[in-house]
Structure 1
Amino acid sequence: MARRDEPGRRRTGSTQPSRGGQPQRGRSASSKSELTGWRLALRRLIVWGAGLVILGLAVLGISVAMATRSLPSYQQLKSSQVGQMIVVRAADGTEIVSLGPSYGKWLPYSRIPQVMKDASVSVEDRRYFDHFGVDPLGIARSLAVRVKSGHWRQGGSTITQQLARTIFLNNNRTFARKVREGVLALALEQKFTKEQVLELYLNKVYFGGGAYGIDSASRKFFNHPADTLSLPEAAIIAGLVKAPSRYSPTADAQAAIDRANVVLQTMQANGKISAGEAAHADIDAVKLAPQEGQNSVRYFTDWALPQLDMLLPDNTEPIEVWTTLDIGMQRAATAAIQANVPRGSQGALVSLDRDGGVLAMVGGTDYVSSNYNRATNAVRQPGSAWKLFVYLAALEAGYTPTDRVVDEPVTIDGWSPRNSGGTYAGAIDVRTAFAYSKNTVAAQLGNEVGFGTVASMARRFGITTPINTMPSMVLGTSDVRVIDMTRAFAAVSAKGSAVDPYGITKVTTLDGEVLYRHPREGGQALVPPYVAAGITDLLQTAVNIGTGRAAQIGRPVAGKTGTTSSNKDGWFLGFSSGITTGVWMGRDDARAVPGLQGGTAPARAFAAYMRYAVSKRPVENFETDLKLPEWQLEPDDEANFGDPGNYQYVDEQGNLIDPTQPAEVPAPGGQPVQPAFPPEGEMVPSAPPAAANDDFLDQATGARAPADPAAAGPGQRPTNPGPRIIRIPPDGPVRGAPSPSPSPVPRGY
């Protein structure tokens, strides 16, 4: 037994390694410890990474397969269009500009010039024929440049990806969009051949100026179809894809040439052309097609077309927009501004028909060099042209053109205005003060009627910019827009009725179906007819004998000049034969322009344009006869504050009394009876009851002004601290001086 047990004991107690011995178990534990370290983590990473890659490839494959099945057919892709095409027509139906996508003739792959194919592939995707829709090498190169430079310098998009973006997506720079773009690119190359994809790309990619496809671009820039493109022309077009607006030959010819030379160098580096062909490709000799409608008319379309978002917010089909623009007047307006604007300055012009239709609009001297519309967007001080609102408020308050005023030095709240030239005329009438643009008289009038009243009048006539109510506001220190000031003068031309500028008369489909038509509505009355007649009288005098003499055109013209301090701005606004035109000139940086005054260059430009604009219209004389209401014909100044017959009152017993009806008096029996009217010419022995309380009468007669001058209603004149203007009747004593009558209470204000 013992001998049998001994070998077993030797095996278990031996120090030699054995499968069942303790030493063997220790080494196994050590190996297990090693696998739980970095090797295990690496192995897990590889396994999980491989799994994720396989899963991602599966998802990508499924996505591509689904996208491929959902792609339209080749013929459907050929007929699809991007964006909305808009044809803009003038008032006579003439096409003035076509905006939005413009598609030329479709060129099959075999008819596309080889130089065009080579230029596009070389500069946009030189590995186009070697990848499967997405170029991993291009993506890696783009990432490397990104890491090295700190920002994106190279795009990794292939031609196929660009096509997918053009047809199906937008230009948002998001990761999700790039993923969808890649999936669609893979699907496109699964469904179509390389030649078909390149054909779609060259016929659909955007080249700027609304041109989609090489044929549209060729016709736009070179005035011939794309199947005859030369090497230099192909290089110019291929270079546009990167930045159509920056490299457009019509916007920046030198930038287009520089970019085209880069394309030629790339073609040479890729072996598409030889060094000799690159050297003989004269980019400078390429003749560009003249760009119709790219100058001043674009100021008008830039203003009018955004209104389509409100008129037809949900429309996306091709449309024709019929406008109020007159082609001949637009040319005349452009020529008038360019011929008269001082060197280094800009000019703007807006011309409105009697119903508010914009006949011409010029926003600057050259649209190509500066598309900023100074007619609708710029805000500048109007100078003395603002006096339109001062005198409108004064006429509404009871002044007439023949009333006498005093042109003399004046100080209002520490402000002392001076006339141009520093001279004072003394006693003159309102008509003369306006014609010669007397600042002191305007200041006194504004102070008397209230600066808030003047601001309210400007608002009433369509001024949309902020208005200050400091005393100097009467001389035009609040910024305004040309179109707003023109609108105000057009309202005067319309006999005091509001005029709303508009540029679109109707919108139709390409088949002629009317989608929108401008409503014909009468303007709201802004001031009584006699006020409009009075201000027209003043405006006509300013052109006949005053500061606006340069605006005369051989028929009645009413208008006003405007000049700001240091000759920074010059204005002339006026109307004749139903056409109202406003002209502004000055520098964009608001620096002084030597010699610029409203009565010089702006008035001359106005006259040059208006001679053409009214040439086919009959001569119209202005209605300047003041047909004042009966209550204003009374010599009593108190009547200027309103028609006494327009209000009622309550007597002490609470009865509503109408002053225009005979008062009822109680009879001895208590029954009211109508009093007998006295014989004509005899006095009534007793006065009627007071029409209002003492506070109202004090305020109305000027004995006590309302706390807020702006609170005074139309026809009321708040009394402000400071000097009061003195009005002198044409054949009588000073209005406002003590009355020679024995009345113990002198009337006045």
Structure 2
Amino acid sequence: MSGAQGDEGPERGGRRWRLPRVRLRWVLTGLAGLVLVAAAGTLALGLWLAPDFPDRKTIWEAGKVPSIVFLDAAGERIATRGAIRGESVPATALPDHLIEAFLATEDRRFYSHPGVDALSLARAVLANLRAGGLVQGGSTITQQVAKNLFLTPERTLRRKLQEAALALWLERHLSKHEILTLYLNRIYFGAGTYGIEAAAETYFGVPASEVTLAQAAMLAGLPKAPSRYAPTSDLALAQARAADVLRNMVEAGFRSEMEIAQALAHPAEPRPRTDVSGSAYFLDHALSEVTERFGLEVLERDLVITTTLDQRLQSEAVEAVRTHLEAEGEAAKAGQAALVSLAPDGAIRAMVGGRSYEESQFNRATQARRQPGSAFKPFVFLAALEAGLTPDTVRTDGPLTIGGWSPGNYGGSYQGPVTLREAVAKSLNTVAVRVSEEVGRESVSATAQRMGIVSPLTAGPSLALGSSEVSVLELAGAYLPFATLGLKEAPFAVVRVATANGGVLWERAPQEPRRVIEADTARAMNQMLHQVLRTGTARSADLGARPAAAKTGTSQDWRDAWLVGYTADLVTAVWVGNDDDSPMNRVTGGGLPARIWKDYMVAAHEGRAITALEGAEDYVPPVAIVASTDEYAAFLDRLSRHFTEVRHMRTVAREPERRESDWKRVLPWNW
């Protein structure tokens, strides 16, 4: 019976019952479905959490920040943008105290955990709960490698789980030494540096293999907050952080109190910063040339860009601007200045975009548009020469009204009839406007554009006085054909773009210059603009024995002051003003800009042979007839003898035997 009862099933209320076969199938089917759903959910969760595991062959290149190395015209390094990276150094080649400093601070159980340290994680959670906020992290060095190289910076549960999964994967595929090497060579150390070798060189000027204990402690303190703890940003804070690292080394059992005492007593200090070229504005401009040619995607790879910069001239330009702004800027109410210097072929040799790149990255040499004032007049007089006028053509400097507008001269006076040469030298506004109206504003605009002005130009009569805004680089480039006897080259900053492994992406080919002025016309312009330095508004910038030419410019209410000038070797434009367009304290182009220009040009030409500027010295003013002191003395002696003889002749005027030859001897044209 018992067996039969067992076969028939249990009894309920004295009755046996059995589950219907159809209902049993439904239960089993449901259970199977639940299992499938659970499995699918687990798989989906796994797929959602799972990161993209890297290819072991390319793991050493993963997550690299692109590096751009800039070279000057001589092939010497100027600076590195993006990642400043040194050579990869194996962890086994580094001193023990450097490795210990990082392990004591970042991951003391590095050699014992499998990539994720549960004990450290629990300790961090408790510390954060006690503090009521995030005061301690639990990431291992392996997790930091996973996070920095393969994951996005978002702080979510999913990303944290992916970080752990990647850390476990790295531990299975790389040795501990390889993981540590990857970490030390790829971590960010502030000041644009990536990797222990670059950091040691940048901050201390030594390879990583030679850092002291104090230096090692400072480097190990940086990963927590590189920008904050960088010794170049806040030395006291960096040294305090390094002291914490040294104490961590004692707590971890790596060093004794006695061993760290010396390092605590004599904390590390960074080496003095040696990059004084102030080339950041120029590098921004050079990089913009590259991206205009290739697009922004070119910046996703390591590049070596060879530029036109002359680092000596750049330093001289920065020094000239800095010195004069510091000495005169406050009294002159002049807050900013810019300078561009070009070689005859258009190569940019120096560029200063402002008084401080750290304070403002706005490049006043290329991005600002300001009124050039009278520095625009050379294009007016060039158009006049091309229309048939000459430097000796006479026009009247006097009151003038055009459509209700009456230009005046600086100082309010008028000179009357003057030559064009004199009008240029003295920067007479009414003559410039008369000439512009005579040859036609359209002709003046077309001439300026042919020379290199690309900014929009006004159609009104004030065009002649530089009321249209231009950039410093643009104006310097437009003066270039004067220095080259009419040949035009567009300004440029880059001559070669290559990859880090030497592959050439682009190289500037030799350019055939375009003639935009006839040579004789350029000579005549050089003659006129040379007088601006000799006898005109830019006398304070005269370069003495070195032939040069220039033009000053001052906009209305002294908002802008310019001096643009050149020798046969360099064309340099200087602008002084304020970013908010506020007036300066009566600063003219012949003042502060002229002093900056002269100091730079004198320094820039040091050691250069004097090269003739064709046409500049073709005109000799009347006051220059006497060539030497001896000749002047002889002239005075002849003059004295002349008047003596005249007096003598008067005493014998009544004598009938007076001879014709006596009179001829004292006539002025005979001496």
TM-score, with length taken from structure 2? 0.72
Pair 1:333-2:317 in alignment = yes
Pair 1:412-2:402 in alignment = yes
Q: How does 1:323-362 map to 2 (within 5 A)?
A: 323-341=307-325, 342-344=328-330, 345-362=335-352
Q: In structure 1, how many angstroms separate the alpha carbons of the residues matched to 2:146 and 2:574?
A: 49
1:188 aligned residue: 170
Q: 1:603 aligns with which of 588, 591, 594?
A: 594
**Shift in Å, 1:525:** 2.5
SS at match of 1:463: coil
Q: 2:203 aligns with which of 213, 221, 233?
A: 221
Pair 1:261-2:270 in alignment = no
Cα shift readout 1:710-737 (whole Å, capped 9, x = no counterpart): xxxxxxxxxxxxxxxxxxxxxxxxxxxx
**Shift in Å, 1:589:** 3.6
Change (3 A) 1:264 1:519: same
Q: In structure 1, how many angstroms separate the alpha carbons of the residues matched to 2:208 and 2:225?
A: 20
Contact kept in structure 2, 1:322 and 1:506, CA below 8 Å: yes
Q: How does 1:34-433 map to 2 (within 5 A)?
A: 51=39, 54-55=42-43, 59=47, 67=53, 70-72=55-57, 82=64, 86-99=68-81, 100-104=83-87, 106-109=89-92, 111-114=94-97, 117-119=100-102, 122=105, 132-133=115-116, 159-164=141-146, 166-168=148-150, 183-194=165-176, 196-230=178-212, 233-241=215-223, 244=226, 248-250=230-232, 253-254=233-234, 257-258=236-237, 261=240, 271-272=251-252, 286-293=268-275, 295-309=277-291, 320-341=304-325, 342-344=328-330, 345-368=335-358, 370-433=360-423
**Shift in Å, 1:572:** 0.8
Q: Structure 1, unaligned stretches of length 5 or more? A: 1-16, 29-42, 627-749
Cα shift readout 1:81-134 (whole Å, capped 9, x = no counterpart): 935555544333434335554224514257354466545764x67886767449
Cα shift readout 1:604-648 (whole Å, capped 9, x = no counterpart): 22222222333413331423699xxxxxxxxxxxxxxxxxxxxxx
Cα shift readout 1:139-180 (whole Å, capped 9, x = no counterpart): 9979x99xx99xx99998754344235545676899998786
SS at match of 1:343: helix
Pair 1:618-2:610 in alignment = yes
**Shift in Å, 1:537:** 2.6
Change (3 A) 1:467 1:102: same
Change (3 A) 1:577 1:159: same
**Shift in Å, 1:543:** 1.3
Change (3 A) 1:82 1:422: same
**Shift in Å, 1:264:** 5.1
Q: 2:554 aligns with which of 563, 576, 585?
A: 563
Contact kept in structure 2, 1:577 and 1:617, CA below 8 Å: no
Q: In structure 1, how many angstroms separate the alpha carbons of the residues matched to 2:230 and 2:582?
A: 32
Cα shift readout 1:379-421 (whole Å, capped 9, x = no counterpart): 3222221222222333333332222222222233333222111
Q: In structure 2, how many angstroms separate the alpha carbons of the residues matched to 1:266 and 1:546?
A: 66
Change (3 A) 1:92 1:195: closer
**Shift in Å, 1:561:** 0.7
TM-score, with length taken from structure 1? 0.65
Pair 1:538-2:528 in alignment = yes
Contact kept in structure 1, 2:277 and 2:311, CA below 8 Å: no
SS at match of 2:462: helix
**Shift in Å, 1:378:** 2.8
- The answer to which structure has the higher helix fraction is 2
SS at match of 1:599: coil
Contact kept in structure 1, 2:455 and 2:469, CA below 8 Å: yes
Change (3 A) 1:240 1:265: closer
Q: 1:443 aligns with which of 433, 436, 456?
A: 433
1:486 aligned residue: 476
Q: In structure 2, how many angstroms separate the alpha carbons of the residues matched to 1:282 and 1:589?
A: 49
Q: How does 1:685-724 map to 2 (within 5 A)?
A: none
Q: In structure 2, how many angstroms separate the alpha carbons of the residues matched to 1:179 and 1:623?
A: 77
SS at match of 2:600: helix
Change (3 A) 1:113 1:306: farther
Q: In structure 1, how many angstroms separate the alpha carbons of the residues matched to 2:287 and 2:415?
A: 50
**Shift in Å, 1:423:** 1.2
Superposition CA RMSD, Å: 4.8
1:684 aligned residue: none
Contact kept in structure 2, 1:257 and 1:283, CA below 8 Å: no
Contact kept in structure 1, 2:70 and 2:80, CA below 8 Å: yes
Q: 2:452 aligns with which of 451, 455, 462?
A: 462
Contact kept in structure 2, 1:561 and 1:571, CA below 8 Å: yes
Q: In structure 1, how many angstroms separate the alpha carbons of the residues matched to 2:287 and 2:614?
A: 35
Between 1:536-545 and 1:326-335, the stretch displaced more is 326-335
Q: In structure 1, how many angstroms separate the alpha carbons of the residues matched to 2:411 and 2:39?
A: 91
Which AA in structure 2 matches 1:437? S
1:648 aligned residue: none
2:491 aligned residue: 501
Contact kept in structure 2, 1:97 and 1:292, CA below 8 Å: no
**Shift in Å, 1:351:** 1.4
Contact kept in structure 2, 1:294 and 1:367, CA below 8 Å: no
Q: 1:586 aligns with which of 570, 574, 577?
A: 577
1:6 aligned residue: none
SS at match of 2:515: coil
SS at match of 2:403: coil
Q: In structure 1, how many angstroms separate the alpha carbons of the residues matched to 2:230 and 2:315?
A: 25
Q: In structure 1, how many angstroms separate the alpha carbons of the residues matched to 2:194 and 2:271?
A: 17
SS at match of 1:487: helix
Q: In structure 2, how many angstroms separate the alpha carbons of the residues matched to 1:81 and 1:224?
A: 26
Cα shift readout 1:240-284 (whole Å, capped 9, x = no counterpart): 44565565443xx22x64366357558868955999999997699
Q: In structure 1, how many angstroms separate the alpha carbons of the residues matched to 2:402 and 2:137?
A: 66
Change (3 A) 1:221 1:624: closer
Cα shift readout 1:25-66 (whole Å, capped 9, x = no counterpart): xxx9xxxxxxxxxxxxxx9999899656643576489x67x9
Change (3 A) 1:47 1:260: farther
Q: Structure 2, unaligned stretches of length 5 or more? A: 1-11, 20-30, 619-671
Contact kept in structure 1, 2:217 and 2:246, CA below 8 Å: no
Cα shift readout 1:300-357 (whole Å, capped 9, x = no counterpart): 3332244344667769876654433333323332332233233353332211111112
Change (3 A) 1:171 1:574: farther
SS at match of 1:616: coil
Change (3 A) 1:285 1:259: closer
Equivalenced residue count is 582
Which AA in structure 2 matches 1:258? L
Q: In structure 2, how many angstroms separate the alpha carbons of the residues matched to 1:108 and 1:363?
A: 43
SS at match of 1:361: strand
